[in-house]
Structure 1
Amino acid sequence: MAGRFFRTEPRRRARAYVRGLLAPLAGKNGWTLAEVAGDATPDGMQRLLNSATWDADGVRDDLRDYVVEHLGEAGGVLIVDETGFLKKGTKSAGVQRQHSGTAGRVEKCQLGDFCAYATSRGRTLIDRELYLPKSWTGDRERCRAAAVPDEVEFATKATLAADMFGRALDAGVPAGVSWQVCKPWVGQDRPQ
């Protein structure tokens, strides 16, 4: 994945970030991840996530290929699960009051759909999509302020799941004919 980072500093920071995520820490946030990396402040980690130039979709694809090489088998299962991230502010992309399964109620949060791949050899996440409500995609200035590209349009959670399944199958992820979507869909996004 090193080639997906165009400079040495973000490449090293990304390695430290992943090592921090895998470390046995009680809580994982910018400060704790920075401390594990040997940094005095979380500024470098924040820079990696907010402004460094790197190919996030390329990293996703490299990870998926690695997973298929090491865990792939014909009976694999693709699983999509929604997760909510509680937020206090209003500027993070997609944040609004909406139902969060994580919280078990309506809260101010971001929602993400994640695609996991599971086989008898192991399991891991291989894809992700951030859900952007219509209130966001209908407000281009707000999207630009949160670094959401102009070409991003509203997509239901079911559409995001289908996109992730499509990417996995197009990339040759060996999976059986069955797949699973976890957690009930809520509101307008319930599949027909």
Structure 2
Amino acid sequence: MTMTLRCRCGAVQGEIDEGRAYVRATCYCKDCRAFARYLGVPGVLDAAGGTDIIPMAPAAVRFTAGQGLVTCMSLSPKGVLRWYASCCRTPLANTPRDPKLPYVGMVTDCFLVTPHQLDAAFGPRGRVVLNTRSAIAPVRATPLAFALGGLRIFAGILGARLRRERASAFFDGSGRPLQAPHVITREERAALS
């Protein structure tokens, strides 16, 4: 079953295979908050400063329009690549720098669905929470869900590696990011904290 993804202005469009999702998670790390502040668009973070993410196989993501508008940044020279639509700064995903690791964390803000449809497809928001100590408001940790979610992510990554899946909407055939990442300076990073 596929789910439509779309940036806020509609220039970037695509779809995901929701059956390839590993789990649903809400991340409260300072880096996810810094990325949301870098984009400057409202509604990305929840009240406690968390970002709703669907970790999945990169081969499950396909852009159908506006791929040239998909760009990325990084909070440090070796940090995660954080992808967004340059046209309207809609967050799209997080990927490791090395495409050999079959993982993409899709930010749910780019899914063209209602909250009810999102919950029906992937479970309720906050089922697996990460980095609760960095939250800006109290958030209850979910240790059992965290452990089970981690196992599902590991199993998904291992399965994709065993299938030798190389396809990624974010990297070219030689393993280079589709767009060279903009790495922000330490001063810019400090301003986003």
TM-score under structure 1 length normalisation: 0.27
Point out the structure with the larger helix share.
1
Q: Which has the higher contact order (CA 8 A, sep 6+)?
A: 2
